[in-house]
Chain A
Amino acid sequence: MNLIKKHGGTVLFTVLLLAYTVFVLLDTFVIPKGSKSVETASATSTTAAAATDPVVTDTSYSDGTKTISIETAQVDGTTYYVADIQLTSADQLKTAFAQNTYGRNIKETTSQIASDNGAVLAINGDYYGFRDGGYVVRNGTGYRDTARSAGDDAALVVDTSGNFSIINESETALSAVSNAWQVFCFGPALIKDSQIVVDANSEVDQSMTTNPRTAIGQVGNLHYICVVSDGRTDASKGLSLLELAQIMKDKGCSTAYNLDGGGSSTMVFNGSVVNQPTTNGDKIQERAVSDIVWF
């Protein structure tokens, strides 16, 4: 009884501290939070060419409306995969949410979301659901208009004509962005106006190492490049942002943007995962993510 009297306060404090800490961790990483739409924009009205029977090989797809080819290459001991995509309509560059729901901690693997949407090619998106800030516009619908702070706020805008541009959220309100078809909030921008805009010291947050990467870029009118690299394994260490930007530039991109990387980096082609995604260290396994970009 004396012991309880002496240490009761400490025990209560410790229990409350632990309980709140567990709640914070669950809220941040586990508990799904519902969907919300903040604004609706008009969707693109471009017209696609007539589809023909698709011609599919292990590394290519063509159906008269879109042509996709996959190439595997290596740089400095890192394997990366390049998808060259040519579309006939801007609305063929699509995005999808895990479980078809917008919100935090709502996740599925890239291959599962791709399968649910009948995607020929899919890459992981910006994992918007892991943060409270950053613009989110998907398939013409605005979901989040909360700007990130300066220095970490480059967003990729894909307009209804399928053209890419980079904006800074701290300088440009989402309402001022006209004809937004997709807006991604990860970054940084890799190429602007055909110039590489990252250097050897550029990194995502505090990370200062090579990593698996995912990037998307525009080469020309309705012509895009997606790159996914392996990393975090003995066979493939990963790319720096500068190396990734150089690959995008070599492929002819005039604008390119870094999407979520690390364990999220995944490319799916014709229902199969193309790369070697890592989860929980260097285990080869797909990570569940919030969203994908698909064609």
Chain B
Amino acid sequence: MSGSKKHRWPVWLGYVVAALLCGIFTLIYSLFAHGVRSIYMDSMWLYPLAAGLVVTLMVWRHPELRRSRSGRRFVSFVNGAAALLTTGSLLKGVVAIAGTDSILIWPYYLLGFALFFAAGVTAVRLGKRSVHR
């Protein structure tokens, strides 16, 4: 058994499941919202899907990504950004459907895009390192 490989799910699977859950939540919520919809909630499934696309492409381009510390940091930044933007979008949708607003929602977007920017910087550094090798 010592030679058996540790099983790994495909990278994209978790993101697709998250996007599906977002879509299902939106559908269920709309059933109780008397036809009131919000573009923020309707589009929140895009964030995990976009994150999955970015991470999958990076892993495909740089297979060593999963093993290196910088690679794991990149994935953490992308995941964190996706979590913040999805949650912010969900909350924005909930308050919009209720007919109100909250100034406390903007930090989700600010931090989300900041993490996404940090992921981009990390990805550029990873790319440069690969070229040098």
Contacts and interface: CB of A to CB of B under 8 A. Distances in A.
Contacts of B37: 206, 208
A25 B37 CA distance: 18
B124 interface: no
B83 A27 contact: no
Interface in A167-194: none
A204 interface: yes
Contact of B91 (A14, A24, A133): A24
Given A13-B80, A17-B84, A28 B35 contact: no
B99 interface: yes
B94 to A, nearest CB: 8
Nearest to A18: B87
A277 B101 CA distance: 24
Chain B contact residues, majority secondary structure? helix
A13 B32 CA distance: 30
Interface in A210-262: 211, 232, 262
B35 A209 contact: yes
A131 interface: yes
A24 B97 contact: no
Contact of A24 (B34, B38, B104): B104
8 contacts: A14-B83, A24-B91, A27-B104, A132-B103, A205-B36, A209-B34, A209-B36, A262-B34
Interface of A: 9-10, 13-14, 17, 20-21, 23-25, 27-29, 127, 130-133, 204-209, 211, 232, 262, 281
